[in-house]
Amino acid sequence: MRMLVYRTARLELRPLRLSDYQEWFECHTEALKSKNKWDHGPYKESRCSRKIFEKIVKKHRELAKIDEYYRYSAFRKSDGKLVGHVDFHLYERGSLQFANFGYMLHNRYWGMGYGVEMAKKALVIGHRDLKIKRLEAAIDLGNHRSVRLVKAIGLYYEGIKKEYWFQEGSWDDQRIYVSLAKR
């Protein structure tokens, strides 16, 4: 499947390119100190080598080619700064047509409306262009910032899935918010 470039008022959403290395490196190594448990804060330079970046770009391309995972990085149009990303991890293409819908905004861009802007566009990408009927956002129970975002873009609350997500050595319960493609 072809990975297109999408634009919003202030952002360009697209797959990472090899030419994005310097911006990706600076974004990750110059992040602000972690503000909560879902915020990774700055990475050590050793985690951001060109070789690691090239592997990430290659892996994302391979997964998109087999229709398993799509990631669109969000770049600010005014200066090319990497502000975050949205992604789709396809669980089923057959009769269920559903994917996990994820998003991440780098902490120096919090509170500026970029998260809502990129996530709204992601719904269009997921439903219209990737042809995914059901997009699920699985959110940690305490992640109130993420809940505000999905509510702002119109996802509805479906319930809690017990022991749904494995992270940091344990299975965690997740709130499930859903967007369904319109018929």
Q: Does domain 6-180 have CATH number 3.30.70.890?
A: no
Q: Looking at residue 183, what is its pLDDT?
A: 65
Q: Rounded distance, CA 64 to CA 45, Å? A: 27
Helix segments in 48-107, DSSP class H? 50-65
At 113, the pLDDT band (50, 70, 90 cuts) reads very high
Q: Is residue 101 within 8 Å of residue 122, measured between CB atoms?
A: yes
The residues spanned by each domain of the chain are: 6-180
Whole-number pLDDT of residue 148: 95
> What pLDDT, on a 0 to 100 scale, did the predictor assign at position 168?
81
State yes or no: pLDDT of 35 exceeds 80: no
Are 57 and 48 in contact, with CB atoms under 8 Å apart?
Answer: no
Residue type, 8: T
